Structure 1
Amino acid sequence: MSLFIILAAVNAFLAVALGAFGAHGLEGKISNDMLEVWKTGVTYQMFHAGGLFVIAFLIDRWGQTSLLNAAGWSMFIGIILFSGSLYVLSTSGIKILGAITPLGGVAFLIAWTLIIISALKA
């Protein structure tokens, strides 16, 4: 069993559910600008759920390595920081949360970089 497959599937599920909630539950309740912020969170969550699947498959192919493990956790943390901060920002209007979002972006970049390094070493 790969923990990253479970994390990927849970995040893909949540992205679909949160996307539907945004489209049907938030429309007319938050501004169009904040609805776009919500959609950005959903989009990045789904893309990086796919990234977690990639990591799980690479672990299956190349074996569990510290680089791939770190990539998986970095991607998961990126989802929480990036998408999570956008969800809270869009529904609360607390602007300071926008300062957290780039930290999630950096976590995503680290994860993809670690995948590149793993591929070069494989």
Structure 2
Amino acid sequence: MRNRKKGYGCPEGCPVEGTLDVIGGKWKGVILYYLLDGKKRFNEFRKLMPGITQRMLTLQLRELEEDGIVHREVYPETPPRVEYSLTEFGRTLEPIISLMSEWGERYKEFLKENKPKTKAN
């Protein structure tokens, strides 16, 4: 496990802090969401997530791999092929990621229905 900075405001050992420490951030949840459908290659992620840089994608995948959430499989062929998948333990995040997806859809609807009214000048 990486040497992480603490400080979400939870007492020492708070399980929510631990979860956010592993899956928090702008891209990890999205990576995990796409891995729920199965293995992905690096360039597949780049197509699915055009806003992420190559460096950031590499960093996020490495951290998820270090945390035992993502498995990186390198195939001994030319050119080399690398696939990423969820580990068995990573699969335990499926209900969380699915609920986050459902909540995100509801939130988009909420925003549509509650747009602030602007005054015409």
Q: Same fold (TM over 0.5)?
A: no
More strand by share: 2
TM-score scaled by structure 2? 0.30
TM-score by length of 1: 0.30
Bigger Cα Rg: 2
